[in-house]
Amino acid sequence: MALRITTLLFGILLISSDTALAQESAMKSNLNTPATIVVTLGTGTPNANPDRSGPATAVIVGDTPFLIDCGPGIVRRASEAAKKGVTALRVSNLKHLFITHLHSDHTVGLADLIFTPWVLDRMEPLQVYGPPGTKKMVDHIIAAYQEDIEIRVHGLEGANAHGYQVDVREIEPGLVFNEGGVKIQAFQVNHGSWKHAYGFRFQTPDRVVVVSGDTAPSQKLLDNAEGCDVLVHEVYSTAGFATRPPKWQAYHSKFHTSTAELAKIATQIKPKLLVLTHQLFWGTSEEDLLKEIQTLYDGKVVSADDLDVY
């Protein structure tokens, strides 16, 4: 179902039959908009696994990438994707970010996303949509880099004075973006003691993509994801969970979703494709994690790696 970007040079039309169909239907409807694709830029967790960058997903509509979360490594993963053929993810084109919640694993790449594309000639401010607290975080990051900004703008580098700036919109659940045929809705999810934690629903001219963010089972996700084309959902292994100390079992059952729970959720939602990300394996193999779902759910499901395209 997924195509590793290493084989993408031959063209994204080969990504999957579902995507090809979606592209065809977009063309037939004369929307003049290329098909929507999803790239899992970072499928990791707080664990510093070098094979899985921090949480970040891109929903790409035409040449516009919408980034969801900015875990560590996001800019280099985007650059890698661009190099291998997904040119919309070229670094100077990273301009829209949607933050699900302010857990550090989802946000420590924010300084990178503010400054690196600017140094590489992004001319416009970064547009950031995030929960309350996002503005304070951005202001502190900009303040922390004042010395760098001064030198780059006023020194011999002659950097532009706009590309490091950030337009922050602190959002509540509801419609948060509606431009160019793309509607993005934020909905509240159930992430333990976080007061503001969101999932996002993308309605593009040819697809509905839902990204769960970090969440335990949540009615709002069921309401917003029903019948979607792609559901990108976090998950932990039910077998791995059994090996965890009681303190961590208490935490994970309130903050995250097990394979058994996700199988039930997917059975209700019936996405055309379920993509597992932010996987917590705890010693379980990727194959066994998939089996945990597949024994309880008969729809299409894949366990994502970094730089998969759907």
Residues 6+ apart with CB under 8 A from 182: 61, 64, 66, 202, 203, 204, 205
Q: Which is nearer to Zn ion, 80 or 105 (CB)?
A: 105
- Confirm or reject binding of residue 229 to Zn ion (CB under 5 A): no
Amino acid found at 2? A
Exposed, middle or buried, 147 (CB in 10 Å: 0-12/13-18/19+)?
exposed
Placement of tokens 């089996």 in the chain: 291
Cβ at position 231, least distance to Zn ion in Å: 17
51 is catalytic: no
* DSSP reduced 3-state for 230: strand
Segment near Zn ion (CB under 5 A), from 18-26, 150-158, 212-220, 268-276? 212-220
Segment near Zn ion (CB under 5 A), from 16-24, 99-107, 144-152, 157-165? 99-107
Q: How far apart are CA 101 and CA 50, in angstroms?
A: 23
* Distance from the Cα of residue 192 to its chain's centroid: 20
- Confirm or reject binding of residue 69 to Zn ion (CB under 5 A): no
Q: Among residues 105, 229, 306, 308, which one is catalytic?
A: 105
Q: Which is nearer to Zn ion, 91 or 186 (CB)?
A: 186
* DSSP reduced 3-state for 141: helix
Among residues 214, 229, 306, 308, the one that binds Zn ion under rule CB under 5 A: 214
Q: Which is nearer to Zn ion, 214 or 292 (CB)?
A: 214
Q: Which is nearer to Zn ion, 206 or 214 (CB)?
A: 214
- Confirm or reject binding of residue 103 to Zn ion (CB under 5 A): yes
Segment near Zn ion (CB under 5 A), from 76-84, 98-106, 128-136, 265-273? 98-106
Exposed, middle or buried, 111 (CB in 10 Å: 0-12/13-18/19+)?
middle
Cβ at position 127, least distance to Zn ion in Å: 22
- Phi then psi for residue 72, to 5 deg, are -60, 140
Among residues 80, 105, 206, 292, the one that binds Zn ion under rule CB under 5 A: 105
Interface with Zn ion by CB under 5 A: which residues?
A: 103, 105, 214
Residues involved in catalysis: 105
